[in-house]
Chains A and B, each alone.
Chain A
C-alpha cells in the first residue's frame, strides 16, 4: 500500500476520487473493479479458469460423480459447441429478443421520466415511492398474471423485462439529473443559454455517469427477469430450456445454457464498463 502511494503522481484539482465512496452514486464502484490491465494479467485470469476446470474434470472422473448430478466440463463444452446451432441458438434468439425489446422500452421510458420528474421536485416526491415499489418488487411475480392476459407469447415476458429494467434505469438516472451544479448552470446562463441548452449541455453530461450505471444495472435485472419469466411460463427461451433439460436429466445441456447466460451477463457488464470508461472518464 505504502509503496503504491509513493509511486502515485499527485493529481491536479482534487481529481483523485477513484475508489472513494463505493455506492451506486459513484461510478467508480463499477469501474474501479479493475479488469486485467495487461496481457500478463489476462493470461493469469484465463489460466486460473483452465486450472479450475481441469481440476474439476479430474476430480469428477476420479470420484465417478454421476453425470446427471455434475457433468464433466468437457461434456458441457462439447454439448455447447456441437449442439449450439440446433439446440441453443433458437432459444438464445428468443431470450435476446425479449431482453432487447423489453429493455429498450423500459430504459427509454426510465430516462425520459427521470429527466422530466427531476425538474418538478413536488411531482418527484409523490412518484418516487411508486418507482421504489417497482424496483423492489420482483417482476417475475407478475408473469402468471400477464400470461392470463397475453397468453404464452413473447409479450408478457417483454413487459416483465421492461418493468424490471425501466424503474432501475429511472431511479439511477434521476439521481444523476438531481446532481445540479449551480456554478456550471450559472456559467451557461451567463452566455444566455436557454433551459433546453442547459439541459443538453450541462444537466445531461452531469447525469451521464449515473445514467450509464442505471443502464447497466437495468440490463442485468432485465436478463434475470427474462430468464425467470421463461421459467415461469413459456414454450421457448433459455429459461424454458433450463427447466426442460433438467427435467430430462441432460445436465451437460443444462450447464451449457448456464454458461451462455453467464456469458451474456459478463458481456453486458463489459459493454457498459467500456461505455463508462469512454464517456465518463472525466469524473473518475
Chain B
C-alpha cells in the first residue's frame, strides 16, 4: 500500500500549499466498485482530496482511471462503495443545489431552444426565474450568446452549445462547479477560447471549480492544482501546484516552464508515480 501512503502525503502537502483556506469540499477515502455481469470494476481506491473555497482543481489521469467516477461521486449522482464526500460539513449523498455540473458534449436538450434549455434547472427546481433574469442576460452577453435565445441546439456550433451549458449551470448560482471533460469534443481553437472564458468567469465569480480533463495543457492552464490519478483503480498519483500568474494567456502554454510541467505531468500519468524532472529516468 505504498501508493496510498504517498497519496495521503501528497494531499497533506498540497493542502498546506493552499494556505490556511478552509476546505469547502473533501473526498475522504473514496472507493468505488462497479458491479458488472463479468465481475466488478474497481474504479477508485481510497482516494482523498480536499478542495478549498474558490480553488480551481483539475483532475487528469489515463482513460478509465476513474476521474469521471470521482466527479460523479462528488456531484452526488453516484454512490461510493466506501468513503464519503463532504460539502460545507455535511455529506453529499444526492445532488445538491450548491453544486452545478457541466457535462461532456454540452448535453443540451435538443427539443428545447437555447432559452428553454437555460431555464431547465429552474423548471426542475420549481424556482421562479424572474429574479435571476438580469443574471441570465448578463451571462448570455458575457459568453456571446445574446440574441441566440430562440435558436435550437442543432443550429448552434459545438462551442456555442457548450457556452450555453455554462450559462445554464451558472444561471442559478451554485458555489461549486463540477466539469466533466467539457471541451473534449471541441477543436483546438474553440477549446482555447473556452478555456479563456472559463478562466475569466472563474476569476470574476470566485466559484470553486473541479475540472476533469484528459488534456494536460488545459489542466495546467486553468488550475491552481492539478490532481493526477493512477491507472485503474484510481488512486492519487501526485498533486501538482501550479503557481503561474493570472490571468494566464494561451502564449504562456508554449513557455519552457509550462512545457516542462506538461512533460512531468504526462510522465506521472504514464507511470502512475511522480518523478521530479531533475531525476534521471
Contact = CB atoms under 8 A, between A and B. Distances in A.
B123 A12 contact: no
Interface string A173-196: 000000000011011111111000
Given A183-B104, A189-B95, A190-B77, A283 B110 contact: yes
A125 interface: no
Interface stretch (B152-160, B203-211, B257-265): B152-160
Contacts of A183: 103-105, 107
A192 B95 contact: yes
B154 A12 contact: yes
B148 to A, nearest CB: 12
A70 to B, nearest CB: 50
Contacts of A201: 120, 123-124
A171 to B, nearest CB: 23
A13 interface: yes
B121 interface: yes
A82 interface: no
B158 A192 contact: no
B99 to A, nearest CB: 8
Contacts of B152: 282
A112 to B, nearest CB: 22
Interface string A84-112: 00000000000000000000000000000
A190 B75 contact: yes
Most buried by B among A11, A13, A192, A208: A13
Given A192-B94, A283-B110, A15 B154 contact: yes
Given A197-B124, A201-B124, A205-B109, A11 B154 contact: yes
A109 B110 CA distance: 28
A226 B153 CA distance: 42
B111 interface: yes
Contacts of B75: 190
B94 A13 contact: no
A13 B77 contact: no
Contacts of B99: 190
B3 interface: no
A192 B153 CA distance: 23
B97 interface: yes
B107 A187 contact: yes
Nearest to B101: A190
A211 B55 CA distance: 47
Given A183-B104, A184-B109, A205-B111, A191 B120 contact: yes
B124 A192 contact: yes
B161 interface: yes
A59 to B, nearest CB: 50
A12 B108 CA distance: 14
Contacts of A282: 110-111, 152-154
A21 to B, nearest CB: 18
Contact of B125 (A189, A191, A205, A280): A191
A208 B110 CA distance: 13
Interface in B124-171: 124-125, 152-158, 161
B153 A13 contact: yes
Contact of B77 (A184, A189, A205): A189
A12 B155 contact: yes
A69 B10 CA distance: 94
B107 A13 contact: no
B204 to A, nearest CB: 23
A157 to B, nearest CB: 37
B77 A186 contact: yes
A13 B154 contact: yes
A13 B156 contact: yes
Given A187-B103, A189-B95, A12 B109 contact: no
A12 B151 CA distance: 12
A195 to B, nearest CB: 12
B186 to A, nearest CB: 11
A13 B158 contact: yes
A184 B107 contact: yes
A202 B110 CA distance: 10
A12 B96 CA distance: 33
B124 A193 contact: yes
Contacts of B111: 205, 208, 280, 282-283
Interface of A: 11-13, 15, 183-184, 186-193, 197, 201-202, 205, 208, 280, 282-283
Given A187-B103, A190-B101, A192-B125, 13 more contacts: A12-B158, A186-B77, A186-B101, A187-B107, A189-B77, A191-B120, A191-B125, A192-B94, A197-B124, A201-B124, A208-B111, A282-B110, A282-B111
19 contacts: A12-B158, A13-B153, A13-B157, A183-B107, A184-B107, A184-B109, A186-B72, A186-B101, A186-B103, A187-B107, A189-B95, A191-B124, A191-B125, A192-B125, A193-B124, A208-B111, A280-B111, A282-B110, A282-B154
9 closest A-B pairs (Cβ-Cβ)? A15-B154, A191-B124, A190-B101, A282-B111, A282-B110, A191-B121, A193-B124, A205-B111, A190-B95
